[in-house]
Structure 1
């Protein structure tokens, strides 16, 4: 297939690019900033001016940089609204028949992610006709993107909407928790710093499975939202213990309650994903891979 991939130099984009080439697809990459992969300038300019039809478009370009960016640069993150709107206009204008819009677990209502019993978040927990408060401006941008996707779908484009939970991998920037923990373990930091009280939970999915599930959804013509996660709630304290144990390190844990923490629980119900794809890389295996990289 002729595939347009946005965010081709980002974490998810790099891995998708490699996987698409391995499948034999012809891939054109664009990004928010000029890179060797860029075709025709940055992504915003491309969507405003390009008229070439592709067989498949995968849109994962976005301004985001971990919790500090989400909380500290809300207007920068909101730039994603313009980018997504032009993406959907481009899909309709070019008649591209198949598309992927990467949403996020940040689109889920924060009221469902508070302390107390863990609620496994289901795709139906987002009601686009009666939206509830998502996570910060980043969540609003993704929620709005999902809303706009309906209009492109009404024009005949079949759109898959992955909602990744906590994606991770060895080559992820360490502004995110998982690679930051790996670095601290390698450096044998003691005390070992954790933002918050360490009891908030996340649902970790390795980048290989995130990519594999996305392409499985494309191949099996799954449209609409689909959670990408294991459904396994892992407190940050447990993640720190798993990482340090695997590194042969036994530090004291130091909690920083003054640092950005995000929601308390964010865990998926992966039932829809499991109908089409079985994840293969456990969190323990992903930790070993990252430490060995």
Structure 2
């Protein structure tokens, strides 16, 4: 297939592009290479992709309407994996406008490109953040998610609603994946594992929010990538049993789906830190702080639907995943 991967220089996009190329698909990657975090890391990921047969890259911003229109018209993609977005819960409090441009305007441009060019299936990144104020565990795609706690979360819920509109009006098959704390080699420097590792190796204290009383459904990148590929191959279909009198938030009469994609084994933050200390062979100096605005205490993915529909089966324990990240980090930064 010819597949567009947006955010191809990003953490998840890079890994997805690698897997698609390895199985023989043609991949066109786009990314705007913004400086939300170190651009050199994005360039290093691209440097591994660009020599591979079947890969082409174009520097392009999702909110460039004409550029996206031209790309879709020229390439005629079979399928699209939209992983480009302005990420981060805390950053959305300081820079709200960037989320509207990338996650709302940019996503609309992707939907329009798919609509007008007969794309067979759009798979896009949603987020566990959409669960917001929900406290029932585990989080289920059949739960209502109308109480986001950050603009980032609201933008991801908006993506799901926008996709549903296009699935309904134009019969465009769309699938949203609610990612749960993805980690692993080539990860994002703004996420906890990267920040903790860097601070510990530099002998600096790590910031432990909510006084360490978080539980997170940490999910290893290889498990995430496998789930994305399986979902891409499983084109969204209408749910024939869907009822407007008792509407199921996770399915539709339209060819539209949302899934949780996580490890489904929440880990206490302090246990996560302990596993990192073990891999590094060092003890972290910890600065305990209150919960950050926009954060939630716990995340826990119910992935039964994804297992049932595409055979998703996460298999990487946290200890193994952290050790692989530390090996990569040590090699990449030569420490």
Q: Same fold (TM over 0.5)?
A: yes
Q: Post-superposition shift, 1:239?
A: 1.2
Q: Residue 91 of structure 2 corresponds to which residue in structure 1?
A: 69
Q: Residue 40 of structure 2 corresponds to which residue in structure 1?
A: none
Q: Post-superposition shift, 1:291?
A: 1.4
1:95-174 mapped onto 2 (5 Å cutoff): 95-108=118-131, 110-113=132-135, 119-126=137-144, 132-154=146-168, 155-174=170-189
Q: Post-superposition shift, 1:103?
A: 0.8
1:244-283 mapped onto 2 (5 Å cutoff): 244-257=277-290, 262-275=295-308, 276-283=311-318
Structure 1 residue 290 corresponds to structure 2 residue 325? yes
Partner residue of 1:44 out of 45, 48, 63:
63
Structure 1 residue 56 corresponds to structure 2 residue 82? no
> Quick check: 2:33–2:59 contact (8 Å CA) kept in 1?
no
Structure 1 residue 175 corresponds to structure 2 residue 190? yes
Q: Post-superposition shift, 1:259?
A: 5.2
Q: Post-superposition shift, 1:188?
A: 4.7
> Quick check: 1:186–1:291 contact (8 Å CA) kept in 2?
no
> Quick check: 2:79–2:122 contact (8 Å CA) kept in 1?
yes
> Quick check: 2:89–2:295 contact (8 Å CA) kept in 1?
yes
Question: 1:115-169: per-residue Cα shift (whole Å, max 9, x none)?
Answer: xxx611001113xxxx512131111111111111112223132222111110011
Q: Residue 14 of structure 1 corresponds to which residue in structure 2?
A: 14
Q: Post-superposition shift, 1:87?
A: 1.0
1:186-197 mapped onto 2 (5 Å cutoff): 186-189=201-204, 191-197=205-211
Q: Post-superposition shift, 1:58?
A: 0.8
Question: 1:62-88: per-residue Cα shift (whole Å, max 9, x none)?
Answer: 012x34313322222222110111111
Question: 1:185-205: per-residue Cα shift (whole Å, max 9, x none)?
Answer: 33354x443133110111011
- Give, in whole Å, the separation in 1 of the partners of 2:203 and 2:307: 37
* Count of matched residue pairs: 282
- Give, in whole Å, the separation in 2 of the partners of 1:220 and 1:258: 38
> Quick check: 1:195–1:255 contact (8 Å CA) kept in 2?
yes
1:39 and 1:119, CA in 2 relative to 1: closer, same or farther beyond 3 A?
same
Unmatched 5+ stretches in structure 1: none
